[in-house]
Structure 1
Amino acid sequence: MVMPFLSSTYIPATVRILLALTLSALVAPMLPPLPQVDAISLHALFLAIEQLLVGFMLALFLTIMLYIMTLLGEMLSMQMGLAMAVMNDPSSGGSHPILGQWFLLYGTLLFLALDGHLVAIGVLVDSFLLWPVGMGIFDLPLMGLIGRISWMFAAAFMLALPSILAMLMVNITFGVLSRSAPSLNVFALGFPMSMLMGLLCVFFSFSGLPSRYSDLCLDALSAMHQFIGG
């Protein structure tokens, strides 16, 4: 329900329900003995809520990982002057810069190409062995999950830093031109040049982005596995 790509509204609810039932049927024989509780008691309700919260927190690691690409696109859009070029996304119910949507799609495809979804499902299965049902959620390293927010901003900034510096040099150059030759229409010339430089930076960034993003995917999956005691 929460894991990126599988939680998209573009995937029908019937497919997601069938996937959940199939995973449950395959995983149930491998699980250790579960606590014997009454199915209609409050204890059973608390156990269900506990497992839902654990699943949501595990999926949050992957959601933060994918939003690195969205944040990268937003940073580049701000430097290029494309912050107002937004597109409504029906899958998330919000509006995002077009460049951010492009990077998000690219990051999702990279995650699937690296079989990250299979590793994430494997971590989900291991969570029942490493963190058995009934262990609670307050003993989990919750501060480590909160720290992934700062990790997201730091990773997006490091990916965008070369392009930001290149476009900053262009802006500084046109600032010097506007002071040395005030008669030049710098605004009419600077905006197209900034956008052209931004597109070139985006083009060249794709040469090294897959290897860098694969390292981030590995880091997120490792943190996801360590979160449950792996």
Structure 2
Amino acid sequence: MSLPDFGWLETVLLAGVRIVAFLIVAPPFSHGAFQNRIRVMIGLGLAVAVAPTLSAGSQPLDTGPFIETLVMQVIVGLGLGFLIQLAFAALQSAGGLIDLFGGFQLAQGYDPQSLVDGAQFTRLFEITAIALLFTTDGYQMVIAGITRSFTAIPVSGMPDFSITAQALVQGFSQTFLAAAQIAGPLILVLFLADAGLGLLTRVAPALNAFSLGYPLKILITISFAGVLFVLLPGVVSSVMQSGLSLLGRAG
């Protein structure tokens, strides 16, 4: 009776820990609709699939180095998942800007499924983006990204934290820029509406134009948001490509 290949088992466990940690943070698998046991099953399945390319010539580790490597895989998985979440946050930020300038910020609430605290458009953009990731097979790109990370950062290797820090800085800047680009046209229209109401108040003070401003801004927001939703599939695709680019750069 042959002995089990402990090197292969350790590789599967280490790869599975990295993938599960990644799925906990990275959208769309970070959504509350995915239970932890589902994430663990997906992570172990992917680990078994990639293990043959990782365990060639690998030797079992001692207890101390194994625990150290295991903790490092958790850190790497969470860090890579955060890069995807950072790119995905551009859509939430864009929705938050629309809520702020459109007057919807007063109806702010917490969504326990997506763990998002925001008003209507913030949560609506989040839900729509997650649905688009599944309908356009964007989730497969996310899975392919984490499986390719084992080429850049082997399970027994150490990541270059300086490159990861640069990717984080670039990710934060891209998030704010992408949010401004997505919500910018609508924000400009709402600003012009406020400016027009201000001029109307100076011309006819008794009209009390600002009391008419709230329904007008809501009408403008809903009308232009409909146009924005038509363009949202392309925006989600661009955001995910940006996140995967950060993922590859960090690796």
Does the 8 Å CA contact 2:26/2:85 hold for their aligned counterparts?
A: yes
- Residue identity opposite 1:12 in structure 2: Q
Moved more, 168-177 or 140-149: 140-149
Does 2:69 match 1:23? no
**Does residue 174 of structure 2 align to residue 114 of structure 1?**
no
Q: Which has the higher helix share?
A: 2
Query: How far, CA to CA, are the matches of 1:221 and 1:76 in structure 2?
Result: 26
Aligned-residue Cα RMSD (Å) equals 1.8
Distance in 1, matches of 2:237 and 2:116, equals 27
Give the corresponding residue for 2:214: 191
Deviations 1:133-174 (A, max 9, x none): 232134551212232011101100011110011111111110
Q: Is 1:175–2:198 an aligned residue pair?
A: yes
Identity of aligned residues (%): 25
Q: Residue 23 of structure 1: CA displacement?
A: 1.6
Please give the TM-score of this superposition, normalised by the length of structure 2.
Answer: 0.83
Q: What is the aligned partner in structure 2 of residue 84 from structure 1?
A: 106
**TM-score, normalization by structure 1:** 0.90
Equivalent runs, 1:148-227 vs 2, <5 Å: 148-227=171-250
Q: 1:35·1:133 contact (CA, 8 Å) conserved in 2?
A: no
Contact preservation (8 Å) 1:32, 1:129 = no
Q: Where does the alignment leave 5 or more consecutive residues of structure 1 unmatched?
A: none
Matched residues in 1 for 2:245 and 2:116: separation?
A: 30
Q: Which residue identity does 1:37 align to in structure 2? A: L
Secondary structure in structure 2 of the residue aligned to 1:183:
helix
Distance, in Å, in 2 between the alignment partners of 1:31 and 1:119 is 21
The 8 Å contact of residues 153 and 159 in structure 2, kept in 1 or not, is answered as no
Deviations 1:23-74 (A, max 9, x none): 2222212214345312xx2211110111111111211122112211111111
Moved more, 75-84 or 200-209: 200-209
Q: Work out whether residues 72 and 100 of structure 1, in 8 Å CA contact, stay in contact via their aligned partners in 2.
A: yes
- Counterpart of 1:2 in structure 2 is 25
Q: Which amino acid aligns with 2:80?
A: L
Q: Residues 47, 9 of structure 1: CA spacing in aligned structure 2 closer, same or farther, 3 A cutoff?
A: same
Which residue among 95, 98, 101 is the counterpart of 2:123? 101
AA of the residue aligned to 1:36:
P
For 2:116 and 2:184, how far apart are their aligned partners in 1?
26
Aligned to 2:106, what secondary structure does the other structure show?
coil
| Alignment size in residue pairs | 226
